[in-house]
Structures are given as structure tokens and as C-alpha cells.
Amino acid sequence: MRRAIAIGAAAAVCAAAGAGLYAGAIPRANPFAGPVTVAAAAEGGATIYYQDPDGKPFYSLEPKKAPDGRAWRAVPAGADVSFDEPEEAPARTKADAKTERKIKYYRNPMGLPDTSPVPKKDSMGMDYIPVYEGEDADDGSIKLSSGKIQRTGAKSEAVVKRPVISLIRAPGTVQEDERRISVVALRFEGFVESVANVTTGDHVHKGQPLLNVYSPALSSAAAEYLSAFNAGATGKDLKGARRRLENLAAPEAAIKELERTREISLSIPWLAPQDGEILERNAVPGMRAGPGDVLFRIADHRLVWVLIDVAERDLPQVAVGTKVTIRPRAFAGQSLEGTVALIYPHLNAATRTARIRIEVPNRDELLRPEMYVDAEIEAGTPGPVLAVAESAVLDSGSRQAVLVDKGEGRFEPREVKLGRRGGGFVEITNGLSEGEAVVTSANFLIDAESNLKAALKGFAESNSMPPEAPTSGSGARP
């Protein structure tokens, strides 16, 4: 008898869903059941629907055949767990009656904002779902059964303090340090007698002779100083004569040689002012050089700059002194360490990026100007902070919330304030305490359940409010 009632109820539901349903429109009562075999169909009793012979999710109320002529499989009530006969319920005791939960109201089975204080059916014959006391708490939390939690795959993790580290990656180029470039030029008019055997690209050391220079102005100043030196002048007279040579940028070695030999050389060797590579050589033997003419340009590459462009949204995470890892694209597997030296004050309006200058020691001169590199800036919180997995945050744009696991299947949506992100975690600046558990997977399903129940509760409260009395002047008659 009970099997007949179950079969009749199933037929009524299918008929209410619409007569003449086509294949694929009828969902299985148990979507996780496998294909129904012929033996199961024979032993199960009366047929309730027909299934595709290949086990595909296609169903029909009427017998059908596949394109290759095979008949669809008949599914009896006994082959679907939804139509199994219920077990005999044990006899209820008085204690069970006292502990039985009370039904507060019934909600629409399709999720519509419709509730009823008594059992009823919707237009399709589906029973309204009972809502028990304790399932609809005033604090906005919801309660789910253990079976529903298991089916949704919800998992919870404790909120703990941890460092939130993020890597900002950006391409860049190597540039020369502007402070490590110098030129060789004269402060007087002279002639280049000879040039050392150095060319563009050669490495020179500080104090190395680069060229020999003759100048009447320099020879006159040397003669004046030698005269004062030979006369045994002291004080301001000797200092004044020496100062004139220094103002003409005469090398200190040439002045000491003049004091030692007490002879004026026809030409004076001009020395390299620093270590580095020759970027430019304009000196030619016999040429006339005027004041300020650049004869050599030298750059020291033992410290170079790396210029990178960082997105505007990542700019707050970068500070002067932050450590940076530089990986040259030309040398796979090699890296150098540098620090952020300067964040340029202007933003690129076209790319919405800010330029950052990184100083990188280059003692082996592995990095060369205009070389492409990849930079990684390690940004994040200075110490451990309260953080949760990024998957735990429900972000709607204007609202960020998490689902707090209160235990025993109860979950509480709670709004939070977020901080830095990195490494799959996000900092929580407000809304959570250490040790609380939050849902990290399938939380959107629980959130959907929470929103639905909140809407139903609001609808029920609005229906229970008495109608407002008409105000004077509203047109209502007394």
C-alpha cells in the first residue's frame, strides 16, 4: 500500500510539472544513482519513468527508443531510493514528545518570499518546507544539517596570526648611476700632445694617464709657483701661486713633480679621475682643446640602477629600503640583491604606473646598461597579523564578509575589514578574533542559504505587521 502511494505521488508530481514532457526535462529523483539495469527494472515492480539506455541524464514518462532502435530502460520504484518504502518508525515516548522541535512556519519550496503558518502546497503541488525553532536565529546565523554540510563540502579553518607576504613582479632595465659618471675636460685653452692607448669600452683606473696637455696658461702658472718656491716664499705668496695651479685643475702629481725637479715640463700628463669604463673618447693627438671640451667620459659600473614601473594599486606596498631580487634575463638562474632607493614623485598617466629606482651592487659587472631584468619586490606586513584564506572572504564589491563556524552546524555571516593580501591569505583588520573558525570552501553556498532565509524572515515580519491607519487628508472616509 505504501509503495502504491509513493508511486502515485511521484506520478502526480511529474504530471503537475507538465504533460507531454520531452526527454531531458525530467530530473531523476536521485541524480547520483547510476544507470538502471534490466534486472533492476524487472525486479523493481511498476515503472515510474524511463531512462536513456546509455545512462545519459535523459528521462521520459512514456516508453521511447534511441536512434539506434534500442528501447529506453524502465525505472521501477524500487530502483530509485526516493521511492523506497520507509522503515517503520519506532514508537514515540513521552520524552520524545517533550524534546520534539516546534515548527515556526512553512516556507515556499521554490525559494519564493512566501510563508505560511500552516502546512500547504504550492501551485505545482509541492509541500511547503517547515522551518523549526532554532533554525532561524535573530543574530542572522543559519543552521544546516550535517548531511547538507557534507554534500556542499564546507570546510572551516581557525583564524590565526601569520605574516602576509606578497611578491610584486615587474620588468625593468639597467641604467648607469648618474653620480658615477665623470668627464675629462680642461679649464684652459691647450693642445693635446699625445693620447694613451685606451679606447671606448676600456677599463681605466683612477690616476691612470690618459693624455699629455700643453698650455701657455698652465706653463705660466707653473713658472710663477716655481719662482715663489725657489725664493723661499712662505705664507700667502706661496699659497696664492699654488692656488692658481689648483684652479686650473693641474694634477697633484704634476705639482709635486714640479717641486721635486724644479723644472717646468713642456706638457703635463692628465689623469683619469675615477675607476670605470670609457664611454666616450674625443681626444685626438695634436687637437686644440678649449675650456670645457669633453675629452673623455668615464662611468663606474660597480653600482647600477634598475628602473621598473609598478602598478598604481601596488604602490602603497613599496617603501624606500625594501629589498628587491633582480634576475637578469640574459643569465638564467642568477640573481642579485638590491634595495629601493627612490620612488619617483610623478605617475605615468598613460600606463597608471609609478617608476621606482633600485640600487644594485654590481661588483662583477654582470649587469650592463640597457639590459632587461625581472624584479621581485617582497612586500607585506612587517610581522604576523590576523589573516584568513582568500577563499574565506565573500566580496561583493561594497561588502566583505566571512562565515563564522559557530559549531553544531550553525554559521554566522560577519562583515570584516580587509588589509594586505599575499600568499593566498588576506589580513583581517576588524571583525574577527584569533581562534574563531571561518568557512574556507563552499561558503558561497552557505551564504546563498543565509541570504534566502534573511529575505524570507523579512517578508514574514512585514506580513505580520498590522496595517497602518489612514492619516487625515488621505481621502479615506471615517
User: What is the pLDDT at residue 325?
Assistant: 94
pLDDT at 169: 92
Q: Indicate whether 276 and 264 sit together in one domain.
A: yes
CA distance 474 to 69: 72
Same domain, 403 and 351: no
The secondary element (H helix, E strand) that includes residue 433 is none
The predicted structure's pLDDT at residue 36 = 47
Mark whether 414 and 375 lie in a shared domain: no
- The answer to whether position 456 is within a domain reads no
Same domain, 202 and 243: yes
For the chain, the domain total comes to: 4
Same domain, 262 and 223: yes
CATH code: domain of residue 426? 2.40.420.20
Residue with grid cell 598604481, as numbered in its chain: 312
User: Between the CA of residue 298 and those of 100, 237, 252, 315, 363, what are the distances in Å?
Assistant: 92, 36, 20, 35, 17
The pLDDT of residue 403: 83
Q: Per the domain annotation, does 73 fall within a domain?
A: yes
Q: What b/e string do you get for 290-329 counting C-beta neighbours within 10 Å, with b at 16 or more?
A: eeebebbbbbbbebbbbbbebeeebbebbeeebebbbebe
CA 470, CA 476: separation in Å to the nearest integer?
7
- 452 in a structural domain: no
> Of 291, 311, 334, which residue sits at a domain end?
291
- Whether residues 236 and 315 share a domain: the answer is no
Going by C-beta distance under 8 Å and a sequence separation of 6 or more, which residues neighbour residue 349?
A: none
Per-residue CA distances from 26 to 8, 50, 269 (Å): 16, 10, 100
CATH number of the domain bearing residue 268: 2.40.50.100
pLDDT tens over the chain, length 478 residues: 344 434 444 443 333 333 333 333 444 444 444 444 444 444 546 787 888 888 777 778 888 888 888 888 888 866 654 444 444 445 555 555 455 668 878 877 765 667 888 888 888 888 888 877 665 555 556 676 677 677 767 788 888 888 888 889 999 999 999 999 999 999 999 999 999 999 999 999 999 999 999 999 999 999 999 988 888 777 777 888 899 999 999 999 999 999 899 998 889 999 999 999 999 999 999 999 999 999 999 999 999 999 999 999 888 889 899 999 999 999 988 999 999 999 999 999 999 999 999 999 998 889 999 999 999 998 877 778 888 888 888 887 778 888 888 877 777 888 888 888 877 888 888 888 888 888 888 766 666 665 545 544 554 555 555 555 444 444 444 3
Report how far apart, in Å, the C-alpha atoms of 224 and of each of 190, 244, 260, 363 are.
18, 9, 16, 45
Tell whether 280 is covered by a domain: yes
Predicted local distance difference test score (pLDDT) of residue 453: 55
Q: Domain containing 365 — which CATH number?
A: 2.40.30.170
Range of 415's domain?
A: 146-163+384-439
Confirm whether 201 is domain-assigned: yes
Three cell numbers written together for 251: 694634477
Answer whether residue 57 is part of any domain: yes
Q: Return the number of other C-beta atoms located less than 10 Å from residue 367's C-beta.
A: 23
- pLDDT for residue 218: 92
Global confidence as pTM: 0.56
Q: For residue 122, what pLDDT is reported?
A: 83
Name the domain boundary from 67, 83, 99.
83
Residue 24 sits in the same domain as residue 56: yes
* The predicted structure's pLDDT at residue 311: 92
Do 317 and 265 share a structural domain? no
- CA-CA distances (angstroms) from residue 477 to 108, 361, 467, 468? 37, 91, 16, 15
Q: Are residues 371 and 390 in the same domain?
A: no
Non-local (6+) Cβ contacts of 54 within 8 A are 35, 66
Domain annotation covers residue 424 = yes
Q: Are residues 403 and 434 in the same domain?
A: yes
CB 284 within 8 A of CB 208: no
| Residue 206 shares a structural domain with residue 286 | yes
- Residue 383: predicted pLDDT: 78
Sheet holding 190-195, edge to edge: 268-271, 209-214, 190-195, 288-289
Residue at which a domain ends, from 406, 421, 439: 439
Give domain status of residue 69, yes or no: yes
On whether both 393 and 366 belong to a single domain, the answer is no
Question: Looking at residue 185, what DSSP letter applies?
Answer: E
